[in-house]
Amino acid sequence: MVEWSSGPGPPLMNESEYSCQLKNGIIPEMPISSVCASTNSDLSFLSDLLCTSNSYVKILRIFSYVLRFVNVKKSNVIVSGPLYASELNQAENRLVRMVQGEVFSSEIRDLQCQKGVLPNSKLKNLNPFLDSYGILRVGGRLGNSDLPYVSKYPAILPNKHKLTNQIIVYFHLKNLHIGASSLLHCVRERFWPLNGRSLCRKIVHECIACFKAKPVVTSQLMGNLARDRVVPDYPFNCSGVDFCGPFMIRYRNQRKGVLHKMYICIFVCFVSKAVHIEIVSDLTSEAFIATLKRFFGRRAEGIEWKFILPRAPSFGGLWEAAVKSAKYHLKRIVGRSNLTYEEFLTVSIQIERILNSRPLCPLSSSADDLNALTPAHFLIGRSMNSIIENNFTDLNESVLKRWQRVTRLVQLIWKKWHRGYLSELQQRNKWQFQKKNVKVGDLVVLIEDNMPTFKWPLGRVTKIYSGNATLIRVVKVKTQNGEYKRAISRVCLLPMPV
């Protein structure tokens, strides 16, 4: 077939004769064979037609106008105006027949020879047949139903073909981004795509509008514990800090009036999970510096800051869990009561004692021993500035002096911490599988807590941070409002078609 977009060939006469007929008002008839469309069309024509647009409706209308032009040249009857429904149906039948001739040529040849399809054919379970237009249809069991002909015998579409994907996308958009199961039902009212359920799921998964309505957060395999959490150290030598609140208190002897906000600052030891609670009057820098001074005076001294990413609470799960535990007791003890400052301070210190008494692991495997290793074991019995002692755990207690026996008891606690507590940190409770890394140039959606999903900003990854491992957990994203450094748990990777 000669490609219709190339136009007619050169006139079959010399230039002077052609110009003379134009002057006399005679228009020479173009050869119809130069523009034709039939079931034996060249495969390049179908490929070029499907590449003109990703819209099935647009392709169908283009092909309808092509067929109208061919019919006008054949019948010499001029037809103008909008397309008729019969023209669209004719174009659709021609398109389906061309695609079927390209993919199911052997099955069509067998059916034309009055033979059934071969046992190894993909269509053997569909009992296919050729209708009067030469279209391959499903010979199902609904022949006695009241359904329309195209619903009783839907046209068969190949699995991996561009026209099949465009038809499914058309039905998906026509039915307002319907789900995969309902989409398959709508498509099968006219067509029967092979492996249709997987195709519908793929189309819905790759739909950007559906993804933005229900984004999927990016995740990665949970990382290894930091060295500061698995190496013995002094309590609170490496700590995490977080705030929670506000909580409303009243002044003493105040029956009515304005309530005042108070906040709780929680320090958590990385090694022993010990908790230190301070009361803060506000969230200013001056109040936090005063809190740090009180903390240093009672627990530690010196400071080196390391900050986590903004909007990434999963990077500080240790102190987030401590905040959750503190709120759990506060809600049940205080409730809606308005305590005074002294009462609130007393309750907070009692909660600190309770949290430091929670069990980490059993001290022994004996059924009669009900004692457990707690964070309080690491806070009682020695000074914060004590020197490093020799290891007495392997020596017999009878050969030790009294002060060495006390040191041996403390060292046995650390030995139990190694054997019991650290082994419980081995397993990963979530993020258990390694995922494909985010790459530079990927399109993502940034999660915003106070905005609906459709208004979450789109961005492109400009930089990745691998850290100590090859797995990417932090990225820098550029949006129309600027660049932001975010954890991958705060971005949603857009599904791009392969």
Rounded-to-integer distance, Cα 154 and Cα 146, Å: 14
Given the candidates 3.20.20.70, 3.40.50.1400, 3.40.50.300, 3.30.420.10, the CATH classification of the domain at 227-360+372-425 is 3.30.420.10
Predicted local confidence at residue 78, as pLDDT: 86
Cβ atoms of 320 and 313 within 8 Å: the answer is yes
- CATH code of 90-206, in short, is 1.10.340.70
Please write down the HEC assignment for all residues of 303-352.
CCCCCCCCCCHHHHHHHHHHHHHHHHHHHHHCCCCCECHHHHHHHHHHHH
**Domain span(s) for CATH 2.30.30 in the chain:** 215-222+432-497
Predicted local confidence at residue 279, as pLDDT: 94
Rounded-to-integer distance, Cα 137 and Cα 127, Å: 9
DSSP structure class, residue 367: T
**Domain span(s) for CATH 1.10.340.70 in the chain:** 90-206
Rounded-to-integer distance, Cα 126 and Cα 138, Å: 5
Rounded-to-integer distance, Cα 269 and Cα 168, Å: 56
Predicted local confidence at residue 393, as pLDDT: 58
DSSP letters for 114-155: T-PPPTTSTTGGG--EE-TTS-EE---S-TTSSS-HHHHSPE
Structure tokens at 87: 């023209």
Rounded-to-integer distance, Cα 487 and Cα 472, Å: 9
Instruction: Identify the CA nearest to 334 among candidates 322, 321, 324, 348.
Output: 348
DSSP structure class, residue 485: E
191-193/155-157 β-pairing:
parallel
| Residue with token string 């100590």 | 468
Cβ atoms of 483 and 462 within 8 Å: the answer is yes
DSSP letters for 248-294: EE--TT--SS--EEEEEEEEEETTT--EEEEEES-SSHHHHHHHHHH
Predicted local confidence at residue 350, as pLDDT: 84
Residue 263 contacts by C-beta under 8 Å, 6 or more apart in sequence?
Answer: 243, 244, 245, 246, 247, 279, 280, 281, 282, 283
Predicted local confidence at residue 265, as pLDDT: 96
**Domain span(s) for CATH 3.30.420.10 in the chain:** 227-360+372-425
Structure tokens at 202: 């793929």
Which amino acid, one-letter code, is at 170?
Answer: Y
Residue 227 contacts by C-beta under 8 Å, 6 or more apart in sequence?
Answer: none
Cβ atoms of 444 and 460 within 8 Å: the answer is yes
Give the residues of the chain that fall short of pLDDT 70.
1-42, 254-257, 363-371, 380-426, 468-469, 497-498
Residue 125 contacts by C-beta under 8 Å, 6 or more apart in sequence?
Answer: none
Given the candidates 1.10.10, 1.20.58, 2.30.30, 2.60.40, the CATH classification of the domain at 215-222+432-497 is 2.30.30
DSSP β-bridge partners for residue 460: 443, 478
Integer angstrom CA distances of residue 324 from 88, 295, 317, 327: 63, 21, 10, 5
Predicted local confidence at residue 262, as pLDDT: 93
Cβ atoms of 249 and 344 within 8 Å: the answer is yes
Predicted local confidence at residue 310, as pLDDT: 86
Predicted local confidence at residue 244, as pLDDT: 93
Structure tokens at 395: 């020596």
